[in-house]
Structure 1
Amino acid sequence: MSKLKVVVTDWEYDDLRYEKAVFEKYSEVELIGAQCRTEEEVIEACRDADALINQYAPLGKEVIDQLEKCQVITRYGVGVNTIDLEAATDKGICVANVPDYCMDEVSDHALALLLSARRKVVKANEQVKNRNWDFKVTQPIHRLRGQVLGLVGFGKIPQSLAEKVQPLGLRVAAFDPYYPAAEAEKKGVQLVSLEELCRVSDIISVHAPLTEGTKGMINASLFSEMKNDALLINTSRGPVVDEEALVEALRTGEIGGAALDVIEEEPITEDHPFLSMDNVILTPHVAWYSEEAAKEMRTKAALGVVDVLICKEYPKYLVNKQVEERSVLKSNQPESRYAMS
């Protein structure tokens, strides 16, 4: 009997130790690492695969249509924008992500960017290392207490951020058309329109997923609504912000600054305007990362494959729930299976 073929389409880690630790319990599974970059490479490596684990390799309709046996695709992380969900659903392929592995890490990082920018930590550090011991180089700095943090999106990560900033005296508003206003009020957060959020917020932190509807949603029109000293933080996806409009808003002083963990195209190019802007703090898409989060993400991505291939269950973190109309699997009951030590 041939083994079940699980292909990791691509990864940026030193090895596949956590994935191997999951699958070594199942002798019927063969784990293969491919490091694909193009759709053609994915098709060649994965045509006869029973399952895929994906990071950045493109899984468009042309790829999905060429998968002969695939039952499940899991993705490292939260976003599934590398995968054509409609094509996968039409073919009866379950798509799963890992939505809960880095809630603390991302909210911590957004808070770190907020404090670093508002207290001008990066500028002060640079000045001291250049032998300039003078607090005046950071002027002006304003008291954080009483300022308004506006959250674009109010899922688990921004909810965690809201909890962390409220003891600092920040007031919190949020824009999320899918979240009940009454529930937000219980958390001490006022839901407002996106335009109102941009008008009233001193700091705006973006936490929206990348979809066709959110691409470029933070645009020139919204920058014109923001305060002149407003700070924009983005730890979600770069293309959610219209980058050209952001550069212009920063250049003209329409807003005060930006603290970005993600940009439109990564890695950043050597001639990118952000690199020469004193009012921009950059980190290299690291908000998600801790050793613990990396282990949890990779383990849970592998477990999503186990759910389907071994246990004949829908994956715990099923994204395309419409696939239930095209496949017959059991409801998922994996609480002990997913327990992280």
Structure 2
Amino acid sequence: MKLIVVGDTLVSSETLIDAAKDINFPGKTGDLEIKTFEWFSDLKKEQFQEKILEIEKNGPEKVAIPDGIIEEMKDADYVLVHIAPISKKMLEAATKLKLIGTCRGGLEHIALDTMKEKNIKLIHVIRNAEPVADFTLGLMFTETRNIARAHYEIKKGNWRKSFSNDEYKTVLTNHTVGLIGLGYIGKLVAKRLNALGVKVIAYDPFIDKTKIAAEGLRIDFLDFDEVIKQSDILSLHMRLTPETENMINKDVINNMKPNSYIINTARAGVLNKNDLIDALKNKRIAGAALDVSWVEPIEENDPLLDLDNITLTTHIAGDTVDAIPRAPYLLKNVLNDYFETGTSDMLIKFK
């Protein structure tokens, strides 16, 4: 049985191999043959961020793949990666490939259409789901209660106590939070909101509602339009796909309450930038908080910077000291559970 491991600057091949040694691959007899590759593992973290942005923007077909990996893919049974590309060419070369395991937030690095065509399983462990869920909740407090704006004004020498959302300010439990997308992160956000006594509504056409109920989560499932209309805080947790790109646009925003907020810790592309700016300028909604940007770093003349009803952070929702080092071991646990039970919330269901 053959496993390919591709390390990078953030998740080393050594860590992936260490985790792989304890994975109970089906049909494994004897020693596991492991072929190791590196994807820009020699870069410093700051330089590697440029590679991450490149693959997130352009996908796996537009970036370099490790030398020699095509040949090794031909008889590989499994592949484990963090953010290294899994391109169409790599997948087309594979004749025995059963499953790919990846441990990062998005799936922009994988040729998903080819995965579907070849019926190759994909296990996707979001290594920083807990940090992102915490951060999402933090943005809800920060935006609705003007925490960052008050701090910013103090630093400028102003003792500001009045803000653009003054007529809407209230405690979180008076808000209804609508979640668009109820994957792993969305469920963790819902769990936190449940604990705080906040009403949660959600839209996700692919979720098994009976499983959500069995997990003890209190969520009212509504159709998309109703979630938009009823939410005081709309929190986005869907993957960026051709179907979800610009999903939250002018037509959607115009159906939101004037006292409502948009929180985005998913991907910038699910939200139409110009429509959001127009809505915030004209106070059609109360505010927004974004940890993702259409261009990183945000440009100096970006019109978002002129708005007084938005909170911006630098794509740091998942950035904690323990999230990345734990990633391969989370993947190991999920894979073992999947191989034992034949099912997993982390198994990607292709449309």
Alpha-carbon shift at residue 226 of structure 1 (Å): 0.9
Other-structure match for 2:161: 135
Does 1:33 find its partner at 2:38? yes
Cα pair distance change 1:191/1:56, threshold 3 Å: same
Report the Cα distance in structure 2 between the residues aligned to 1:82 and 1:20, rounded to whole angstroms. Answer: 20
Other-structure match for 1:18: 15
Does 1:76 find its partner at 2:99? no
Other-structure match for 1:171: 199
Cα pair distance change 1:46/1:284, threshold 3 Å: farther
Does 1:59 find its partner at 2:89? no
5 Å-filtered alignment, 1:96-111, equals 96-99=123-126, 101-111=127-137
SS of equivalent to 2:106: coil
Paired letter, 1:132: N
Paired letter, 1:82: H
Report the Cα distance in structure 2 between the residues aligned to 1:179 and 1:189, rounded to whole angstroms. Answer: 12
The answer to whether the 8 A contact 2:38-2:66 is kept is: no
Unaligned segments of structure 2, at least 5 residues:
23-30, 41-50
Report the Cα distance in structure 1 between the residues aligned to 2:218 and 2:335, rounded to whole angstroms. Answer: 39
Alpha-carbon shift at residue 204 of structure 1 (Å): 0.6
Cα pair distance change 1:54/1:198, threshold 3 Å: same
Does 1:215 find its partner at 2:245? yes
Paired letter, 1:131: G
5 Å-filtered alignment, 1:83-162, equals 83-91=110-118, 93-99=120-126, 101-136=127-162, 140=166, 142-144=169-171, 145-162=173-190
Alpha-carbon shift at residue 320 of structure 1 (Å): 5.8
Does 1:192 find its partner at 2:218? no
Report the Cα distance in structure 2 between the residues aligned to 1:233 and 1:82, rounded to whole angstroms. Answer: 25
Report the Cα distance in structure 1 between the residues aligned to 2:205 and 2:3, rounded to whole angstroms. Answer: 41
Residue among 57, 65, 70 paired with 1:42: 65
Partner deviation per Cα, 1:202-226 (whole Å, 9 max, x = no partner): 1111112233332222121110101
SS of equivalent to 2:4: strand
Paired letter, 1:21: D
Report the Cα distance in structure 2 between the residues aligned to 1:123 and 1:166, rounded to whole angstroms. Answer: 27
The answer to whether the 8 A contact 1:72-1:305 is kept is: no
SS of equivalent to 1:95: strand
Unaligned segments of structure 1, at least 5 residues:
323-341
**Percent identity between the two aligned chains:** 26
The answer to whether the 8 A contact 1:124-1:138 is kept is: no
The answer to whether the 8 A contact 2:5-2:17 is kept is: no
The answer to whether the 8 A contact 2:133-2:189 is kept is: yes
Note the aligned Cα RMSD (angstroms). Answer: 3.8
The answer to whether the 8 A contact 2:146-2:163 is kept is: no
Report the Cα distance in structure 2 between the residues aligned to 1:194 and 1:317, rounded to whole angstroms. Answer: 22
Paired letter, 1:87: T
Alpha-carbon shift at residue 24 of structure 1 (Å): 7.4
Provide the aligned length of Structure 1 versus Structure 2: 316
Other-structure match for 1:292: 322
Partner deviation per Cα, 1:37-84 (whole Å, 9 max, x = no partner): 664631644212335444445434234224577554322225334322
The answer to whether the 8 A contact 1:94-1:318 is kept is: no
The answer to whether the 8 A contact 1:23-1:29 is kept is: no
**TM-score, normalization by structure 1:** 0.75
Other-structure match for 1:326: none
Paired letter, 1:279: N
The answer to whether the 8 A contact 1:53-1:73 is kept is: yes
Alpha-carbon shift at residue 7 of structure 1 (Å): 4.3
SS of equivalent to 2:64: helix
Other-structure match for 1:6: 4
SS of equivalent to 1:291: coil
